[in-house]
Structure 1
Amino acid sequence: MIVATKAIVFSAIKYSEADLIVSCYTEVAGIKSYLLRGVLKSKKGKLKVSYFQPLTQLELIAEHKNKGTLEYIKEAKVFEPYKTLHTTILKSGLVMFLSEMLKNCIREEEPNKALYIFLENSFNWLDQNEEVANFHIFFLLQLSMYLGFYPDAANIEEKYFNVMEGSFQATNTNDYCLEGAQIESFKLFFNINPETLSSIKLSKTERQNVLELVLSYYSFHVQGYQKPKSLAVLNQLFS
């Protein structure tokens, strides 16, 4: 079946001498993996390697056989050209980290229009704004809403956060209840929007502690979760 769809690149891995295997989140079919034959050596083909950098937004004409095998891209063009996302060191580190997290967490081969729009808008905002030190934490917290495990903030004024249950509570009921400065910093990311992210003032250590909490939360709620390899690079960039 030939489909036309928007897509966001999650990863591109070299396969053999000249091929790429590209993982994309498509608007019409969720996650799809494509085999791009000869793209690393071809200079005249319709597909260019530069199109498949992480988080690039594309328009695709693709062949989907929907048999659980690699699909094929017939045509591709950049839908939303980025100005800064792949050219500034800090944002490149964020792109590496977020694309790895997305590939880790999103595996469904089915459309989710709301999630696609969220991703599209988030990366456009990241590209267009300069104060992005808190963006990855805010993004992951918002992403959990679309993945079905956004924390219950009804009792956010309470001192404990139960990482396993995803809720704030007044008492310590198990080994997964955390309290202290890390939790108070985490609370700052609720009930805000991207435009007010810069109002959250955290030190390097405080930001890393909140991110560790969010990743721990993901580890409880994402089946087969793997700690991102790019985390060390991200922490260095924000040091």
Structure 2
Amino acid sequence: METKTRAIVLRSVRYGDSQIIVDVFSREKGRASFICHVSKNGRGKIKQQLFQPLTILEVVYDDRPTRSLQHFRDIRLAQPFFSIPFQAEKLAIGLFVAEFLSYALRDEQCNEPLYDYVESSVMWLDNVEGRFANFHLVFMLRLSRFIGFFPNLEEMAEGDWFDLRNGAFTPVRPLHPDFLRPEEAAKIGTLMRMNYDNMRFFRMSSDERNECVDTILTFYRLHIPGFPEMKSLPVLRELF
């Protein structure tokens, strides 16, 4: 069946001398993998530049469920970037977000609201001119709403512990080791009040920001089996 969809590149790897395997998250089909030939001299229709992390594409392909690797019938750039590939800080965030999504959306099926959230977030980052150091914190926490384990803030009270396994605040210490103490749990409430428009008003030191990243990644590892260590995280720590 012919499928036309927008898709966000998560990662690409070389396969032999002239082929490349591309993992994308698409609006119509969710996670999908493709194999294609890439011209060595840059004169072919399909160029490797199309497969940089977070690139937004328009693709057409014959969807064959029995195939683990699909083949493009047509591919083109849907939305050019103006700043992400050219600013070191944005590029570092972009690489981190792409790697994070490749793990967080590993088995994700069609989820149009989730796709729209990811695409609009990427475009926000590309268009913003400054004060985006907290972008990845907001992005990761709010993504959890779309994949089923958004922290429950309804019964949050001062002095509560935060149960990372259940994603909920509790007045008593959980019986398992995966929790945040009250002073740490209060930061979750602060993070949940942040969005792309107001996050510039929340001042954090580099150490505080890195602690938040570690906590959020721990939260994801508890809810997504096999979520590995992030290779792009050290670069992000250095810049932010």
Q: TM-score, normalised by structure 2?
A: 0.93
SS at match of 1:79: strand
**Paired positions, count:** 237
Q: Distance in 1 between matches of 2:30 and 2:191?
A: 28
Say if 2:230 is the partner of 1:231. Answer: no
Deviations along 1:17-63, whole A, 9 cap, x unmatched?
A: 121100011111111100012x0415332211111110011101122
Q: Is the CA contact 1:182–1:210 (under 8 Å) kept in the aligned structure 2?
A: no
Q: Is the CA contact 2:39–2:46 (under 8 Å) kept in the aligned structure 1?
A: no
Q: Is the CA contact 1:5–1:61 (under 8 Å) kept in the aligned structure 2?
A: yes
Specify every segment of 5 or more residues in structure 2 that has no aligned partner in the other structure, as ranges: none
SS at match of 2:79: coil
Q: Is the CA contact 2:60–2:74 (under 8 Å) kept in the aligned structure 1?
A: yes
The equivalent of 1:210 in structure 2 is 212
Q: Are residues 208 and 180 of structure 1, via their aligned partners in 2, closer, same or farther at CA, if it must alter by over 3 Å? A: farther
The equivalent of 2:150 in structure 1 is 150
Q: Is the CA contact 2:53–2:95 (under 8 Å) kept in the aligned structure 1?
A: yes
Specify every segment of 5 or more residues in structure 1 that has no aligned partner in the other structure, as ranges: none
Q: Is the CA contact 1:5–1:26 (under 8 Å) kept in the aligned structure 2?
A: yes
Q: Distance in 1 between matches of 2:92 and 2:171?
A: 37
User: Residue type of the partner of 1:128?
Assistant: N
The equivalent of 2:87 in structure 1 is 88
- Give the root-mean-square deviation of aligned CA atoms: 1.5
Q: C-alpha displacement at 1:182, in angstroms?
A: 3.4
Q: C-alpha displacement at 1:107, in angstroms?
A: 2.6
Q: C-alpha displacement at 1:181, in angstroms?
A: 4.4
Question: Bigger CA drift: 136-145 or 103-112?
Answer: 103-112
User: Residue type of the partner of 1:113?
Assistant: E
Q: C-alpha displacement at 1:85, in angstroms?
A: 1.0
User: Residue type of the partner of 2:105?
Assistant: I
Q: C-alpha displacement at 1:131, in angstroms?
A: 1.3
Q: Distance in 1 between matches of 2:157 and 2:224?
A: 26
Deviations along 1:165-208, whole A, 9 cap, x unmatched?
A: 11112221222222254333332121332100111111010111
Q: Is the CA contact 1:183–1:210 (under 8 Å) kept in the aligned structure 2?
A: no
Q: Is the CA contact 1:158–1:169 (under 8 Å) kept in the aligned structure 2?
A: no
The equivalent of 1:123 in structure 2 is 122
User: Residue type of the partner of 2:190?
Assistant: L
- In the TM superposition, what are the counterparts of 1:41-190 in structure 2 within 5 Å? 41-108=40-107, 110-129=109-128, 130-159=130-159, 160-174=161-175, 175-190=177-192
Q: Distance in 1 between matches of 2:173 and 2:182?
A: 12
User: Residue type of the partner of 2:142?
Assistant: Q
Deviations along 1:82-141, whole A, 9 cap, x unmatched?
A: 111111111111111111111101133631110011011100111111211111011000
**Percent of aligned positions that are identical:** 29
Q: C-alpha displacement at 1:2, in angstroms?
A: 2.2
The equivalent of 1:34 in structure 2 is 34
Q: TM-score, normalised by structure 1?
A: 0.94
Question: Bigger CA drift: 106-115 or 24-33?
Answer: 106-115
Q: Distance in 1 between matches of 2:238 and 2:197?
A: 25
Q: Distance in 2 between matches of 1:177 and 1:120?
A: 32
